[in-house]
Amino acid sequence: MADNQWLTTLWLVLAVVVVATQGLRLGSFNIKIFNTTKGHKDHVMGYLAKTAVRYDIMAIIELRDPSLWALKQLVQRIKSDHGVDMKYIATGSIGKAVIHIEQYAFLYREDKGISVVDSYLYDDGDEAKGTDVFEREPFMVRFRAPNCVVSDLALVAFHPPPSDALHDLKLLIPVYEDVRKTWPDSHVIILGDLNADCRSVPKEAWPQIEIRQRPEFYWPIDDDADTMVKDRSMCAYDRFILAGQALKDAVVPGSAKPFNTREEYGLTETQALEVSDHYPIELVLRDASDPVGSSSTLVGGLWNLWTGHYIIIIILIVIAFLIFRRRSAVYGNFGIAKRT
């Protein structure tokens, strides 16, 4: 009976740990010039599929394929390699100058209950009259994620050209206000390759950027992070901007960071650059059933350590403990046979 009680207790503890490692994993990846040429490179698509399947929702930046063939190939590769049927939503071509024409896309896990509620492209003025303000307008998608502590998400994908980055970041407040007006119940996250560092946006320019200065906006990717593959680069170009305290509290501490594909996949710089010159960035939003809550940043951070392969360690510890208990029952305390 005692063994059964121990077994029940241990499995309950394990279940709590598993719940804490869930939540919604959000990613954004500038897949440099993601077109049909890249879509035909089998090894590159393998790495892209392996990366994309990490996320419940992933923004794709720098898609350059109006036919969406490369995106569809990626979805098929994810299914064939990982057994996951990811869905997508994508824009048409966006951009005024030919060299700046791109598309935005999102991949998402419908099998986890995530769905697209609505979407639109930001109206930044009349291009024919020259009154539009962005080279590439932001793309807004409203997602429903019932298992996330913030279930109504408005994700805004954005990629300003490097030369326009400072100008465009100054204009993001009206974009945010437009999303709030359109979907007042949604929690807003702006994400993408914002070119928000180094020569494009030097640190001394931050005071000019309202969305950076206002306290209700949270930039979880550290300014000193490196979201670029090349060794000689040290720039935090790719960013998340979270609006409101509820979203800030929902982020699992320590989860917002670049995902270093070179280290994770054992790639050389040259090999990694075949995939992209950027690393994806990621964060985790707490599961709706996460017992930790936002009151303890330290505890939340410790819980976040138990992700990926660490859960296997927990399972092995549980199994070892149960074996030890059974041996103790047969041979006595500490597994040593009692003498009479």
Q: Is the pLDDT of residue 111 over 90?
A: yes
Q: Is residue 43 very low, low, confident or very high in pLDDT (cuts 50, 70, 90)?
A: very high
Tell me the pLDDT of the chain averaged across its residues: 87
Mean pLDDT over 298-303 rounds to 46
Q: What pLDDT shows up at residue 323?
A: 62
Q: Which long-range contacts (CB under 8 A, 24 or more apart) does 213-220 make?
A: 214/173, 216/243, 216/244, 216/245, 217/241, 217/242, 217/243, 218/242, 218/243, 218/247, 218/248, 218/251, 220/251, 220/256, 220/283
| Angle, vertex CA 327, rays to CA 321 and CA 328, nearest 5 | 90
Q: Which region among 23-27, 45-49, 119-123, 230-234 has the lowest average model confidence (pLDDT)? A: 230-234
Question: Which position among 62, 137, 159, 187 bears the catalytic label?
Answer: 159
Q: Is the pLDDT of residue 12 over 50?
A: no
Q: Is the pLDDT of residue 205 over 60?
A: yes
Residue length of the chain: 340
Q: Is residue 321 very low, low, confident or very high in pLDDT (cuts 50, 70, 90)?
A: low
Mean pLDDT over 252-274 rounds to 98
Q: What pLDDT shows up at residue 128?
A: 76
Q: What pLDDT shows up at residue 293?
A: 53
Q: What pLDDT shows up at residue 3?
A: 53
Q: What pLDDT shows up at residue 326?
A: 62
| Angle, vertex CA 26, rays to CA 293 and CA 20, nearest 5 | 30
Q: What pLDDT shows up at residue 316?
A: 66
Looking at per-residue pLDDT, the higher value among 286 and 322 belongs to: 286
Q: What pLDDT shows up at residue 314?
A: 59
187 assigned to active site? no
pTM of the model: 0.83
Q: Is the pLDDT of residue 182 over 50?
A: yes
Write the DSSP symbol of residue 214: S
Q: What pLDDT shows up at residue 158?
A: 99
Q: Is the pLDDT of residue 181 over 60?
A: yes
CA 164 – CA 145 distance, rounded (Å):
33
**Helix, strand, or coil here: 267?**
coil
Q: What pLDDT shows up at residue 125?
A: 87
Q: Is the pLDDT of residue 188 over 80?
A: yes
Q: What pLDDT shows up at residue 287?
A: 96
Half-sphere exposure of 339 (CA within 13 A, CB side): 0
Q: What pLDDT shows up at residue 295?
A: 39
Q: Please say whether the beta carbons of 282 and 25 come within 8 A.
A: yes
Q: Is the pLDDT of residue 214 over 90?
A: yes
Q: Is the pLDDT of residue 340 over 90?
A: no
Mean pLDDT over 152-171 rounds to 98
309 assigned to active site? no
Q: Is the pLDDT of residue 303 over 80?
A: no
Mean pLDDT over 166-189 rounds to 98
Q: Is residue 17 very low, low, confident or very high in pLDDT (cuts 50, 70, 90)?
A: very low
Q: Is residue 20 very low, low, confident or very high in pLDDT (cuts 50, 70, 90)?
A: very low
| Location of structure tokens 């492209």 | 121
Cβ atoms < 10 Å from Cβ of 247: 23
- What percent of the chain lies above the pLDDT cut of 70? 79
